[in-house]
Homo-oligomer: A and B are copies of this chain.
Amino acid sequence: MRQAVLAATVDLLTSEGLTGTTVAAVARAAGVHETSVYRRWKTRENLLLDALGSHADEALPEPDTGDVRQDLTQLMSAVADYLASPQGAALLHLGASPDAGSVEAARLPYWDARLERGEDIVRRGVERGELAPDTDARLVAETLAGPLFARVLLTGASLDRGLARRIVDLTLDGARPRDGRAATG
């Protein structure tokens, strides 16, 4: 039954979107009583997070090619791909919902963990001398991911790998003029 409900949730999420995915609809699609869903997952939010949660992690690679630019581009491209999917957008919207309670506590650690993938790449770049020694890895990770998140959440504008690449380039090179623009990569 658990599998049936989760599968139905992802299906509805993909076809109907976040607002169209009501608990009643999920229960109906899974051939289960609505009460049973609430008993197991307590809240709609928990259900959606459970349905989307595990799937998300696996989609993110942890590239380590020896080149910061390449690593970050790969990671951010994967993020862009995921966020462009209905599931990715739904997960992001869930994370951004202002409902306090249980999710509130898990929120900060959750995104913290996501950001660390980027931070690790940046730190390796610093160690290799590709990036300035005083580079704030966390800040770089936030600066890379922020624009993608904002697009999905606020403007609804499209996301593609080109955008991801340009954000990486901007964050590595800066907007100020350089002599050799594409140094390493």
Residues of B within 8 A of A60 (CB): none
**A100's contact among B19, B147, B154, B174, by CB below 8 Å, is which?**
B19
Residues of A117-144 contacting chain B, CB below 8 A? 122, 125, 129-133, 135-136, 139-140, 142-143
Interface of A is mostly: helix
* Residues in B neighbouring A99, C-beta threshold 8 A: 19
Also in contact, A132 and B175, with CB within 8 A (given A112-B155, A149-B146) = yes
Give Cα distance in the complex from A104 to B129, angstroms. Answer: 45
Check if A167 is an interface residue, CB within 8 A of chain B: yes
Kindly state whether residue A40 has any CB partner on chain B within 8 Å: no
User: What is the total number of copies of this protein in its complex?
Assistant: 2
Contacts beyond the supplied A145-B146, A171-B174: 19 A-B pairs with Cβ under 8 Å: A95-B153, A96-B96, A96-B154, A107-B155, A107-B156, A108-B155, A111-B155, A132-B175, A132-B178, A136-B166, A143-B143, A143-B146, A143-B167, A143-B170, A143-B171, A145-B150, A146-B149, A172-B176, A176-B183
Interface of A toward B, CB cutoff 8 Å: 17-19, 90, 92-93, 95-100, 104, 107-108, 111-112, 122, 125, 129-133, 135-136, 139-140, 142-143, 145-151, 153-157, 166-167, 170-178, 181, 183
